[in-house]
Amino acid sequence: MEQDYYKTLGVSENASAEEIKKAFRSLAKKYHPDKNKGDKRAEGKFKEVSAAYEVLSDSKKKAEYDTMRKYGAFAGAGGRGGFDPGQFSQFWERKGPNGGTFSFRMSSADGFGQFEDILSSMFGGRGGSAESIFENDLHRARPRYAPDLTAELPISFMESINGATRTISVGNTGKKLKVKIPRGIEDGGKIRLAGQGQPGYNGQTNGDLIITVRVMPDQNFERKGNDVYTSVTVSFIDAMKGTRTQVKTLTKTVSLSIPAGTQPGTKMRLKGQGLAIGGKQGDLYVTVNVEIPKNLTEKQRKLLEEWEG
């Protein structure tokens, strides 16, 4: 049975991009391998939610996925702009040139006609039935490139900010590749390693390895574009009378002045302390949380009552 990406993330088909991202962050944090060492079930769930987010966070892939769901099949992302039939079980298939197999899953006998436009766009855009397109074009075509391989690479927030170099293993081959993670890459960013995909045959060029980067949630920071968000907590008294507190930025620790009478949830900006990417310097926004005492002594209670009066 095909994976229902909406069900995997626990969102509706009408969920917004922000709702999809929020659901993924929550589930990724829950099932992350670092928090569930040795737990194969958690590892499997992490891969499932990552695969779902890979499709639903990309507007083009999501539109393709939704269209194919409507007609009783799913569209994959294998190869260069093609479908990935390898992940499904029931297909209508034909042998192509050089031993290749081209497969499409049909929901019913009547479903064939629903795919004619899709097939036509894939094989030259000429008119005629899907059957004639298959016979006249597909059998004479030979893909120029071998299929691409896809992989996901989870990285820490600070690795996404500063950049890093990671070594990965490719499939079951034992082959190791160094991957340079560019500074400032965002969640869902792609890294393409040319020629590291499926090997070509009969004159084909090797496919590429396309790596989707997954930035794991950080306990201190959150990023929106070049701006970074964090928070500090001060006591009720300090918020009333004013104080200074230490705040961690991306590169150092600075002293932040909290004015007297600061209200809970106040957001303060540290200009130029965000991320500098693409010629634009971001800022750091600090949300001030005020800690309200849960238990007061009788003396403290009387002082508050006098203050109110």
Least confident of 19-23, 111-115, 135-139: 111-115
For the residues 29-41, what does the mean pLDDT come to?
Answer: 84
Q: What is the pLDDT of residues 226-281, one digit of tens each?
A: 999 999 999 988 998 999 999 999 999 999 999 999 999 999 999 999 999 888 99
Q: What is the pLDDT of residues 105-114, one digit of tens each?
A: 333 333 334 3
pTM, two decimal places: 0.51
Flag whether pLDDT at 8 surpasses 80.
yes
Structure tokens at 26: 């929550």
Q: What's the confidence (pLDDT) of residue 73?
A: 46
Flag whether pLDDT at 88 surpasses 50.
no
Strand partners for 215: 155
Q: What's the confidence (pLDDT) of residue 104?
A: 37
Strand partners for 170: 175
The residue whose two tokens read 């990406």 is: 5
* Mean per-residue pLDDT of the chain: 77
The residue whose two tokens read 């799913």 is: 74
Flag whether pLDDT at 16 surpasses 70.
yes
Nearby residues of 114 by Cβ (< 8 Å), 6 or more positions away: 71
Q: For a pLDDT cut of 90, what percent of the chain falls above it?
A: 39
* Terminal-residue alpha carbon distance, the chain: 69
CB atoms within 10 A of CB 268: 16
Structure tokens at 191: 């890294």
Q: What's the confidence (pLDDT) of residue 173?
A: 66
Q: What's the confidence (pLDDT) of residue 172?
A: 64
Least confident of 54-63, 134-143, 234-243, 261-270: 134-143
